[in-house]
Amino acid sequence: MEYGQFCPVAKAMELLGEKWTLLILRELHMGATRFNELQRGLSLISPTVLTKRLNELADSEIILRKKIPGQRGNEYFLTQAGKETLPLLKGVGDWGMRWARGDIRDSDLDVELLMTYLQRSIKTEALPGEQSVIRFRFTDLKKLHSWWLLVKGCNVDICLEDPGKEVDVYLTTDLRTMVNCWMGDETYRAAIADKRLQLVGPSALTRNIQLWIADSIFAGIPPAREI
């Protein structure tokens, strides 16, 4: 896409304005490095489009493509130019929280994206012992309703099948409530009081879930109608 203008906004949009490009950069900033990790965070993107966008970003030197040692496939890393897109993404996200989230449709509630974000949001240092297991069950979903986060040291793995280990915390809720709580649109305390969210486990962990699950970086930004 070319705009034929010398304006730096136009030149930046030639590199970043294609569909999915900013979301791919979002996932890279969040720690994804492999093709399947990017797909998990962008569930509606086709492999063909993802490959094309990654090639475009690599050609523009916004990301660096490296072969995975001893394996097939590549890993993708932000270059300095890519790293400097973080304030841009944060600004877009702040604007979106303020002006574009007034009507979140059910189709916008992506459980795979939510669980990927929750996996990245676990404060491993706040969970005692070498291993912890957190089970999520979404009461309104027929598919993908049960998830396990397996915490080992500083690593958090995500499971769709029971890992066969003792569960430390059971979290039961509906998808919209969990999205709202993590995004800061409502409090965990209010959801628990309304019995839309149930936590079962040691009170040291269930008393304040935010001790071990970080909120979205956009939590706390009020919509424009509340300003």
Q: Over the stretch 158-193, which tens digit does the pLDDT of each residue have?
A: 999 999 999 999 999 999 999 999 999 999 999 999
3-state secondary structure of 193: helix
The answer as to whether 143 is a domain residue is yes
pTM: 0.89
The answer as to whether 206 is a domain residue is yes
**201 shares a domain with 137:** yes
Rounded-to-integer distance, Cα 212 and Cα 197, Å: 17
The answer as to whether 158 is a domain residue is yes
Rounded-to-integer distance, Cα 125 and Cα 180, Å: 25
Query: What is the domain range of residue 177?
Result: 106-211
Q: Name the residue with tokens 């136009």.
A: 10
Rounded-to-integer distance, Cα 162 and Cα 177, Å: 23
**195 shares a domain with 125:** yes
**113 shares a domain with 78:** no
**126 shares a domain with 52:** no
* Among 129-133, 181-185, 222-226, the least confident range: 222-226
**CATH number of the domain that 168 lies in?**
3.30.1050.10
Structure tokens at 73: 């496939």
Phi, psi of 90 (to 5 degrees): -65, -40
Which of 50, 84, 118 is the C-terminal boundary of a domain? Answer: 84
Type of residue found at 23: L
**CATH number of the domain that 36 lies in?**
1.10.10.10
Phi, psi of 21 (to 5 degrees): -60, -50
**Average per-residue pLDDT for the chain:** 95
Give the count of domains, the chain.
2
Task: List, as own/partner pairs, every contact residues 216-222 make where C-beta atoms lie below 8 angstroms and the sequence separation is at least 24, other chains included.
Answer: 216/117, 216/121, 216/182, 216/183, 216/184, 217/90, 217/93, 218/93, 218/94, 218/96, 218/97, 218/183, 218/184, 219/182, 219/183, 219/184, 220/184, 221/94, 221/97, 221/98, 221/184, 222/98
- Is the pLDDT at 102 greater than 80, yes or no? no
For residues 66-83, average pLDDT? 95
Strands 74-78, 155-159: parallel, antiparallel or unpaired by DSSP?
A: unpaired
Strands 197-200, 74-78: parallel, antiparallel or unpaired by DSSP?
A: unpaired
**80 shares a domain with 129:** no
The answer as to whether 94 is a domain residue is no
**118 shares a domain with 59:** no
Q: How confident is the model at residue 227 (pLDDT cuts 50, 70, 90)?
A: low
